[in-house]
Amino acid sequence: MNPLILIPARMAATRLPGKPLADIGGLPMIVRASRQARASGLAAAVAAGDAEIVEAVEADGGRAVLTDPDLPSGSDRIRAALQALDPEGLHDVIVNLQGDMPFADPGISALCIDLLARHPECDIATLVAPESGPDDRSNPDVVKAVLAMAPEGTEGRALYFTRSTLYGDGHVWRHVGLYGYRRAALEAFCAAPPSPLERREKLEQLRAMEMGLRIHAAVIADAPLSIDNPGDLAEARLRAGRG
């Protein structure tokens, strides 16, 4: 396998405009995310929707490519960056690492790559973590993954993703928004229109499932901090200050 990590980022975030360049302990958020990706030892680049993001990443020694700011999703953005960076098709696995997870462990991408390597039938790999508390079960902002778990309990095949409340006994798995795509799966996914379930739940991964693409998920101990609102940003700044 020849993986490539791509980090989509754009300035026009709805809930936190200018998020990629938000200062966290003296560094822009996207620079922290780029550094974590590069620390994995894998090829990595930022798929940027704005020139300011490219400038910030390149000033730190990272790699970035400017994409159309009007692309509808992060998946479309990484596909555009991939076409620009690798038109020869040398990279056969693409990891979509979110730019708003500035403290993600550098080894996190390898878990998705390993799933794809061990499961030839898997088209897309992702991650889940245990719920952080009982409120997660009814919180629509927490995306839940329904999995057919393997006997060892460390990974499973995804059956569904939902924002709805999950009832009954057993684990509730928080979905971690990181994906490893086989290149053909990424191309097929981006070429397809939004699906009915995707529009209903506002979850892109359901388009892949309605297309018949197979998703597997590995279990990690804790979900990385994802910065979606001012409160998350404040927490990130406290964490950077403690570091």
Domain ranges, residue 50: 1-101
Confidence check: pLDDT of 140 > 80: yes
Q: What is the pLDDT of residues 62-84, one digit of tens each?
A: 999 999 999 999 999 999 999 99
Mean pLDDT of 120-142: 92
- CATH code, domain carrying 94: 3.90.550.10
Residue appearing with tokens 């798995």: 173
pLDDT at 16: 85
pLDDT at 15: 76
Q: What percentage of the chain has pLDDT greater than the value 90?
A: 86
Do 133 and 222 contact (CB within 8 A), yes or no?
Answer: no
* 111 and 214 in a common domain: yes
* 96 and 15 in a common domain: yes
Query: Over the chain, what is the mean pLDDT?
Result: 94
> Could you tell me the two tokens for 174?
């928080």
* 128 and 63 in a common domain: no
pLDDT at 136: 86
Q: Is residue 14 part of a domain?
A: yes
pLDDT at 243: 59
Angle, helices 29-38 vs 51-59, to 10°: value is 50
Confidence check: pLDDT of 190 > 70: yes
The values of phi and psi at residue 41, to 5°, are 85, 0
* 122 and 146 in a common domain: yes
Mean pLDDT of 147-151: 95
* 111 and 97 in a common domain: no
How much is the pTM? 0.94
* 177 and 95 in a common domain: no
Q: How many residues are listed for the chain in this entry?
A: 243
Q: Is residue 238 part of a domain?
A: no
* 84 and 162 in a common domain: no
Q: What is the pLDDT of residues 82-123, one digit of tens each?
A: 999 999 999 999 999 999 999 999 999 999 999 999 999 999
Q: Please identify, among 78, 101, 124, the residue that sits at the C-terminal boundary of a domain.
A: 101
Q: Please identify, among 42, 73, 101, the residue that sits at the C-terminal boundary of a domain.
A: 101
pLDDT at 143: 95
Confidence check: pLDDT of 186 > 70: yes
* 95 and 30 in a common domain: yes
pLDDT at 135: 85
Mean pLDDT of 20-42: 96
Q: Please identify, among 59, 74, 101, the residue that sits at the C-terminal boundary of a domain.
A: 101
pLDDT at 196: 98
Mean pLDDT of 123-152: 92
Higher pLDDT, 138 or 82: 82
Mean pLDDT of 8-36: 92
Residues 172, 167: Cα–Cα separation, whole Å: 9
Residues 126, 92: Cα–Cα separation, whole Å: 16
